[in-house]
Amino acid sequence: MSADQAAAEAAQQTRPAPRRVLVAGNWKMHHDHLETIRTLQELGLRLPEGASSRVEVVVHPPFTDLRSAQTTIEDRGLPLVLGAQHCYHQDAGAFTGEVAPPMLARLGVRYVLVGHSERRRLFGQDDQQVAATLQAIRRHGMVPVLCVGETEEERAAGATEERLAAQLTAALAGLDGEAVSALVVAYEPVWAIGTGQTATPEDAQAACAFIRGRLVEAHGPEAAAVRLLYGGSVTPETTLELLRGRDVDGLLVGGASLRADSFAAIVQAAMGARSTPR
């Protein structure tokens, strides 16, 4: 083997795994367990052939639906991955109303949202709790989906990057580049959540490029392989353009993921977004 070939092979081996497109549906406080079973069954019928080879499709139902979702996905062999919307940072104890990370892991949950703006705003989740929860999720072998984003006021004041940087710094302190590369970070501008006001593809790309650059700067070059999602009023019609952004690796979908037809249409559009892996 020539020196050039050896160098090319070495570069290939050290190149991080391609960033597979991820489309996640956050069902928030919608769908009881029967509705969840029905929606998953319909999704199974509607998802395009070969979807899972191109796009990783995740559903985040409410806690009470997780067991039903797990068995529906497993029994029917659906090309879906299970996610949760929240958890507490302790493994067990006197924490009435909370759910522990090992309980989710036992149910086959792979992804857990952490720091969603609704948790921060409505339930007082602060940066310290976000960081502790993120660590607890990792400790139990699941993947945190860290949500960050600016409010309308912060955007108007030109403070978007400052806000994103502060949230990332607080949540990821102490993690090296390799640990960061295994996470998912969702950019969710608060002003676009549930409002029908989607960020433009340019806005989404600019914010994701900033996040990736910031993570590399703070945690090292391996962090560049982190997957970045955009979330906020995504629809089947906006999917393709949003995913054209170089740094946008997927979508976190709220309202449009509740119905199997529109969620499947988003997955279908996402399948056409990338001809070559990044």
Ligand X SMILES: O=C[C@H](O)COP(=O)(O)O
Catalytic residue among 118, 154, 188, 219: 188
Cβ(132)–Cβ(89) under 8 Å?
yes
Closest-CA residue to 162 (of 175, 173, 176, 149):
149
Catalytic residue among 89, 116, 150, 219: 116
CA-to-CA separations, 159 to 101, 165, 201, 204, in angstroms, rounded: 34, 10, 19, 15
User: x/- string (CB under 6 A) for ligand X, residues 206-245?
Assistant: -------------------------xxxx-----------
For ligand X, the closer of residues 56 and 216 by Cβ is 56
Closest-CA residue to 178 (of 223, 115, 133):
223
Number of Cβ within a 10 Å radius of residue 35: 15
188 catalytic per annotation: yes
Point out which span in 62-70, 90-98, 169-177, 251-259 binds ligand X (CB under 6 A).
Answer: 251-259
31 catalytic per annotation: no
C-alpha–C-alpha distance, residues 54 and 66, integer Å: 25
For ligand X, the closer of residues 130 and 193 by Cβ is 193
Residue 194 as a binder of ligand X (CB under 6 A): the answer is yes
Closest distance between ligand X and the C-beta of residue 250, in Å?
12
Residue 62 as a binder of ligand X (CB under 6 A): the answer is no
Residue 193 as a binder of ligand X (CB under 6 A): the answer is yes
C-alpha–C-alpha distance, residues 21 and 27, integer Å: 19
Identify the three-state secondary structure at position 228.
strand
List residues binding ligand X (CB under 6 A).
Answer: 26, 188, 193-194, 231-234, 252-256
Tell me which residues are annotated as active site: 116, 188
Residues annotated within the binding site for substrate are 26-28, 194, 233, 254-255
